[in-house]
Structure formats: structure tokens, C-alpha cells
């Protein structure tokens, strides 16, 4: 029987895309901490991955946070969640509310910082797959392409003021990930070395602004 630390997490279907989406939003939203409902609104629903490879039950963003404490944390006993690294940034006065002493915010992550976190998630996915696969020729996957999806995601967010609600087309992200399935008869996608350049375009998203 597998130890708790050895149970698959990143190789659960759709888990990697859920983690990438959560990293991206929590890195760039105006407020460092977000509630379950705020995450549902920003990401157009709950996570697509299940609780485990054996379970058919879905999970909440809060449960995803608990399952991936290498990236995310809860704010004490509250129901607000943030990236671990951003939660320790210094607070400063929200310029929109200069006279409110409680209106404190933390700086957003840069695109490069966000991409570094996504790279870590992709590497953890790759290592978990290598540990689980029995046949060596099935180990390599399209890691570079999955990383590229994360780059496109964060590229858009870096150009968007996230004090409004963002409703990204996560379905498009997951459809792109499905394309990356390895065809062992025709070959695989090789992982590239070094940073992957940004594309000169970003995917279309729907921006919902308050009236």
C-alpha cells in the first residue's frame, strides 16, 4: 500500500491544469487572499480534477489548497486562501482607499515569478509520472507544451487589471492539455532546455466588469 506522501496527486486527470489556474489567479488578483466563491467566480467553476485517482468525487478549491500546500495556504482558521510566497509579502495601503487603515494589500507576483511556480508544478508532475510509470518508454511526455499553456495563461493575466473579476476560458486550457497525450507509435514531444519564450499573442478571455 502506498504511503500518503507517495499517493498520486499531479497525475490525477486535470489536476495539473487546476494547479496552474489557481497559481495564476492567486498570483495576480488584487487581494492576496481569496475565498472559495471568489475563486469559483474567477475560474468559472470548481476544479475539474477529482479527490484522488480512485475517487469519482470532485473537490473544492479549498480542498485543492489543502492537497497542495507546497504552493497554497489558508489564512489561519478563515476560509481565505493564498499563495504561500505572496502571503509573506509586506502589506501596503490600498491606493483606492487611502483613508481606510484596514485597506491593506500585497504586491502581485511578476509574470516571471508566476512562471517559476508553474515550472515547479510541471516538474513535480513529471517526477510523479516517472515514479509511477512501469515502462521507461512511456515516461517522457509533453512537458514543454504544458509549460507553454501556463505561460499563455500568465501572459494574459499580466496585461489585465484584476481588481475586476476574471473569467478565463479554462475549457480552452484543458482542451490544449488533452492534445498533449503521447502517441507511443509516432513519437513524443521532447522537453526543451532553458526558458521558453513568450508567444506574441494571448488567448481570448471574457472580462466581466462591474456595472
Extents of the domains making up the chain? 4-86+114-208
Measured in whole angstroms, the distance separating CA 146 from the mean position of its chain's CA atoms is 12
d(CA 86, CA 199): 26
Residue closest to 40 by CA, chosen among 25, 18, 61, 58: 61
Out of 64-78, 154-168, 182-196, least confident range: 182-196
d(CA 30, CA 184): 44
Question: How confident is the model over 163-191, as pLDDT tens digits?
Answer: 444 444 445 445 555 544 444 344 443 33
Examine the pLDDT at 85 and tell me if it is beyond 70. Answer: yes
Question: How confident is the model over 8-63, as pLDDT tens digits?
Answer: 899 999 999 999 999 999 999 999 999 999 999 999 999 999 888 788 888 999 99
**pTM: predicted TM-score of the whole model, two decimal places:** 0.65
Query: pLDDT at position 105, please?
Result: 94
**Cβ(82)–Cβ(73) below 8 Å:** yes
Examine the pLDDT at 89 and tell me if it is beyond 50. Answer: yes
d(CA 178, CA 16): 12
What's the mean pLDDT when you consider all of the chain? 74
Residue closest to 204 by CA, chosen among 162, 137, 138, 153: 153
Q: Which residue has the higher pLDDT, 80 or 185?
A: 80
Amino acid at each position: 500500500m502506498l504511503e500518503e506522501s507517495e499517493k498520486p496527486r499531479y497525475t490525477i486527470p486535470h489536476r495539473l491544469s487546476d494547479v496552474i489556474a489557481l497559481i495564476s489567479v492567486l498570483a495576480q488578483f488584487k487581494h492576496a487572499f481569496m475565498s472559495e466563491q471568489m475563486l469559483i467566480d474567477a475560474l468559472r467553476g470548481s476544479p475539474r480534477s477529482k479527490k484522488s485517482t480512485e475517487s469519482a468525487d470532485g473537490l473544492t478549491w479549498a480542498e485543492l489548497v489543502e492537497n497542495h500546500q507546497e504552493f497554497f495556504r489558508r489564512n489561519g482558521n478563515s476560509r481565505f486562501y493564498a499563495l504561500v510566497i505572496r502571503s509573506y509579502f509586506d502589506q501596503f495601503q490600498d491606493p483606492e482607499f487611502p483613508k481606510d487603515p484596514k485597506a491593506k494589500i500585497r504586491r502581485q507576483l511578476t509574470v516571471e515569478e508566476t512562471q517559476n511556480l508553474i515550472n515547479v508544478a510541471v516538474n513535480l508532475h513529471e517526477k510523479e509520472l516517472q515514479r509511477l510509470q512501469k515502462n521507461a518508454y512511456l515516461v517522457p511526455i509533453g512537458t514543454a507544451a504544458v509549460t507553454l499553456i501556463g505561460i499563455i495563461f500568465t501572459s494574459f493575466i499580466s496585461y489585465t487589471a484584476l481588481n475586476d473579476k476574471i473569467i478565463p476560458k479554462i475549457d480552452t486550457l484543458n482542451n490544449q492539455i488533452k492534445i498533449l497525450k503521447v502517441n507511443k507509435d509516432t513519437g513524443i514531444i521532447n522537453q526543451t532546455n532553458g526558458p521558453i519564450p513568450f508567444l506574441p499573442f494571448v488567448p481570448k478571455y471574457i472580462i466581466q466588469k462591474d456595472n
